[in-house]
Amino acid sequence: MNMLITPEEVIRLSFRESEYLRSTTVLEADIIAATDRFITPIIGQTMVEQLSLGDYRELMSDYIAPALAASVRLLIQPLLNIRTEEAGATSPRTDSTQQAPQSAMLALHNSLKQRARQLLKRVSDHLNKNADRYPEYDPKSNILNRCSINGGFVQTF
């Protein structure tokens, strides 16, 4: 299966210009994991395969790519906050910078989670409103049509 987006696209779509990262920071495995965890339960495996073949370019660029990039960042951000070296886990630090306080890292994580959720909901809403345009999409299989988390409560329907 082809990846839906590249590491370069993840960086372009989910990081600001001032947040410099090399494209090698994002692994193909990160994109695959985010696709399997966040995108496939919404759009289904058949739709993922169609997108990986290059179908539905507008859906991909306007809806799926931003949601997937945000989901990848949500997964990898904790890995960016620490480094694993021969001596074990360390915090990145230079003479001119220091690690953000735990409260700031938690706030960042919560912000990234909210952004990813909103973009995933946007994908779901678009597909539900335009299901006739996407024959591979099955609204009954969309997890967001059966379960949501609102105010910390899990709701199923």
Q: What does the pLDDT read at residue 152? A: 67
Q: What does the pLDDT read at residue 147? A: 81
Q: What does the pLDDT read at residue 55? A: 95
CA angle 14, 146, 155 (to 5 degrees): 90
- CA torsion, points 134, 140, 141, 145, in degrees to nearest 10? 100
pLDDT along the chain (157 residues), means of 10: 90 90 92 97 96 96 98 93 76 67 85 95 97 96 84 69
C-beta atoms surrounding 32 within 10 Å: 14
Q: What does the pLDDT read at residue 93? A: 65
- Residue type at 26 in one-letter notation: V
Prediction pTM value: 0.88
Q: What does the pLDDT read at residue 1? A: 59
Q: What does the pLDDT read at residue 85? A: 76
